[in-house]
Amino acid sequence: MQQFPKFAWKKNDGEFDRDIIQQFIDVRPNHHWVLCNNDVVISDLQLWTAWEACTRRFHRKSSLARTIDAEFLRYLSGTHHVSEAFARSGVNLNDEQGWLLFLPHAIFSDDTETQHVIDVVDEDVQDVAVQILEQMQCYLEDRKPAPSTSSLTQLGISNDIQSLDIEQCSIAHIHQADLQS
């Protein structure tokens, strides 16, 4: 499986404030850049699953959110409500670290059901990620997702599901985003 374009970050001074969220919105090149909290990124498979559902909805012009980043967070959070998605997956005031994600552009085949990724992690995407983080007074960290039961709690998944692994739970949660009303 191809690695999802994700970049772990940490705040330089160890403190996150509301201004940094607005600063992120101002400095990112487009809505294909997403800032999320540390606990919600579980695996590449989870991120690709949310991306696929999100881009398909956007292609069909049936998304619930107005922007692709908000729609992606909605799927990642497994909810029908955009505001709840930001509460679950967005950066919180006490977060000192998190993830910067790049949502690759998709090309759809003529049947409109088959999609292909066209932008992947390359030097240009990583350079842009570093520039965004520097302007936010954050730095790129070399770490992998560390899924835990707190990841499930943050996403709004019941912790009493112990028969499945965390990745499977997060993927099932993504698919239920369209089932809730």
Q: Tell me the C-alpha distance between 36 and 67, whole Å.
A: 15
The secondary structure of 23-55 as a DSSP string is: HHHHHSSSTTEEEEEGGG---HHHHHHHHHHHH
Between CA 92 and CA 18 the distance in angstroms is 8
Q: Determine if the pTM surpasses 0.75.
A: yes
Cβ atoms of residues 101 and 85 within 8 Å: no
CATH number at residue 79: 3.30.2380.10
Q: Which two tokens mark 177?
A: 């985003």
1 domain-assigned: no
d(C-alpha 35, C-alpha 98), whole Å:
7
pLDDT at 106: 80
pLDDT of residue 181: 45
Q: Is residue 146 part of a domain?
A: yes
User: How many separate domains does the chain show?
Assistant: 1
How does pLDDT run along the chain (181 residues), one tens digit per residue?
A: 788 999 999 988 766 666 778 889 999 999 999 999 888 898 999 999 999 889 888 888 888 899 999 999 998 888 888 888 888 888 877 788 899 999 998 877 666 555 555 555 566 899 999 999 999 989 999 999 877 666 666 666 666 655 457 776 677 666 666 665 4
Contact 167, 41 (CB under 8 A): no
Segments forming the whole domain that contains residue 144? 6-176
Whether residue 39 is contained in a domain is answered as: yes
Contact 44, 4 (CB under 8 A): yes
